[in-house]
Structure 1
Amino acid sequence: MRFAVICLLLFPAFLTAAQPVETIISLSPHTTEMAYAAGLGDKLIAASDYSDYPQAAKSLERVANYRGIKMERIVALQPDLILAWKGGNPTREMTRLEQLGFKVFYSNPKSLEEIASTLEQLGQFADSPKQAQHSAQDFRQRLDKLRLAHQGKHPVSFFYQLSSSPMITVAGDNWPSQVFAVCGGTNIFANSAAAYPQISTEQVIVRQPEVIFGTSHAAGDHSIWEQWRQQLPAVEKQHLFTLTSDWLNRPTPRTIMAAEEICQYLDRVRQSRL
């Protein structure tokens, strides 16, 4: 009798866990990209602005942007699962969606390893976890190869210009610092108190970086540094490189491409020392 009662009590939980995920909404570009990599692309019915990879994502309805999320539309679509950026999507609205009974999967990888593990976690919602497992395995193998190839190489000091007006960079272990560290890059602003400090050209000059990185979406024009050619070794030796913004700033499987790109540039700098 006791066993029967326990089964009845647990049955709703089993039923909920077994319910298939057929429709998904993604509320950030990186979760959209992760969903496709994990084999969930055919289940996506809406996404955020700037969800532009892969090509199929461009045709999804838009239900979120930098100003917030479209609560009424999301509720009307009744998704089985919502993919959210923890810390990036508004807390109040996300809490409200959870209170309304929506299942939310939060993603905010803070390390390269977490990109692979997040893919595997997302795989549980796919019809088969194989694609997610394959994506995670490929990511780990390429990452291990890079780390092995750059193990013991001399560090290279760099400045990463995240934006130009105002001039902002990254500090500490905040994303995407981890990507530069794979190849032995040493951030000249690593010890700044703020996660993404606003800095001046004078502060960059004092720290004498060997490399200056910008991105294709922000600070891609390095002409701002030309007037400091005599004061900055990075400018004097033309170690000014433009990185692919989406590869670098979004924590997704394509981040490994950013790491490979950075490693090539840092190796070029090391070669110039000889």
Structure 2
Amino acid sequence: MRFTCLLLLSFTACTALAAPAQRVISLSPHMTELAYAAGLGDKMVAASEYSDYPAEALELERVANHRGIKLERILALQPDLILAWKSGNPPREMAKLEQLGFNIFYSTSKELPDIANTIERLGQYANSPKQAQQVASDYRQQLAKLTAQYQNKTKVRYFYQISAAPMITVADGHWPTQVFQVCGGENIFAASKAPYPQVSQEQVVIRQPEIIFGTSHANTNVAMWQAWQGKIPAVDNQHVFTVTSDWLNRPTPRTIKAIKQVCDHLDAVRAQRQAQD
């Protein structure tokens, strides 16, 4: 009898997880974007600060930011599904939500294929999984095409500047180095022990990047590197570029746009190489 009850409880839990959600809250911008991609847009009732894509997300109430989560407001909204970022949302507050019995879906996108997998998993909570399946399929096809196009390209040494003061970059194996790898980028801080190391301009000079990438948040521009004219190939050849932050830093279908943008810049370096040979 006890075994039968356990089986019934297990079946009930699985069924609940597969049932369409009616009230969804997202606690990170990229999860908001993934929710809309998976067909959950009409179920969203609140989201985190900076959830700005698609445009409809701008109308959602804000219940989280970099300082924390509004637990009381989340309790009042009574979501049946909360979308969270495992390494980005505060563990203590997430533990409280778990203890209160909320159904929490954690983003675990660490590699490029994970984006499509996550969308498909989210699709089980939509009224129909068809949109999620189509978006995931389109993403996989575009990723496969770009991977094949660039897999034999010559390597280009790059530096990705996440912020300016302090100057932060990223080691291999941590997002978004996967984007650069598709294009044949070779990270000058690949072997750093810290996932997001703080570095100096002098350390960048020593490693001689052929191209420097930054975002508007990092205030990366040619002017800030101008003092190193004649000492860094990227500066000498005017290969200092600003990339679209949301495309690059958020693991969503728009990552494809980031790959194309980065690949185009790396191709410009390769073209200049050939012209100089």
Bucket of the pairwise TM-score, normalised by the shorter protein: over 0.9
Deviations 1:46-77 (A, max 9, x none): 00000000100001000001110000010011
What's the secondary structure of 2:217's corresponding residue?
coil
The structural deviation recorded for 1:216 is 2.4
Alignment check: 8 A CA contact 2:170 2:195 kept:
yes
Take 1:14 and 1:175, find their aligned partners in 2: how far apart are those partners? 31
Name the aligned partner's letter for residue 55 of structure 1: A
Take 1:4 and 1:206, find their aligned partners in 2: how far apart are those partners? 67
The 1:33–1:15 alpha-carbon spacing in structure 2 relative to 1, beyond 3 Å, is closer
Take 1:193 and 1:169, find their aligned partners in 2: how far apart are those partners? 12
The structural deviation recorded for 1:222 is 3.0
The 1:97–1:235 alpha-carbon spacing in structure 2 relative to 1, beyond 3 Å, is same
Take 2:156 and 2:107, find their aligned partners in 1: how far apart are those partners? 31
Q: TM-score w.r.t. structure 1 length?
A: 0.95
Alignment check: 8 A CA contact 1:161 1:219 kept:
no
Alignment check: 8 A CA contact 2:212 2:241 kept:
yes
Aligned counterparts, 1:1-274, within 5 A: 12-13=12-13, 16-17=16-17, 19-274=19-274
Alignment check: 8 A CA contact 2:31 2:84 kept:
yes
Name the aligned partner's letter for residue 94 of structure 2: M
Alignment check: 8 A CA contact 2:168 2:199 kept:
yes
Aligned length: 274
Alignment check: 8 A CA contact 2:164 2:220 kept:
no
Take 2:216 and 2:255, find their aligned partners in 1: how far apart are those partners? 15
The 1:101–1:239 alpha-carbon spacing in structure 2 relative to 1, beyond 3 Å, is same
The structural deviation recorded for 1:151 is 1.8
Over aligned residues, Cα RMSD in angstroms?
Answer: 1.9
* Gaps in structure 1 of 5+ consecutive residues: none
Take 1:14 and 1:194, find their aligned partners in 2: how far apart are those partners? 39
* Gaps in structure 2 of 5+ consecutive residues: none
The structural deviation recorded for 1:10 is 6.1
The structural deviation recorded for 1:163 is 0.4
Take 1:130 and 1:117, find their aligned partners in 2: how far apart are those partners? 14
Q: TM-score w.r.t. structure 2 length?
A: 0.94
Take 2:3 and 2:207, find their aligned partners in 1: how far apart are those partners? 69
Take 1:191 and 1:40, find their aligned partners in 2: how far apart are those partners? 39
Name the aligned partner's letter for residue 168 of structure 1: I
Take 1:245 and 1:130, find their aligned partners in 2: how far apart are those partners? 29
Take 1:216 and 1:201, find their aligned partners in 2: how far apart are those partners? 18
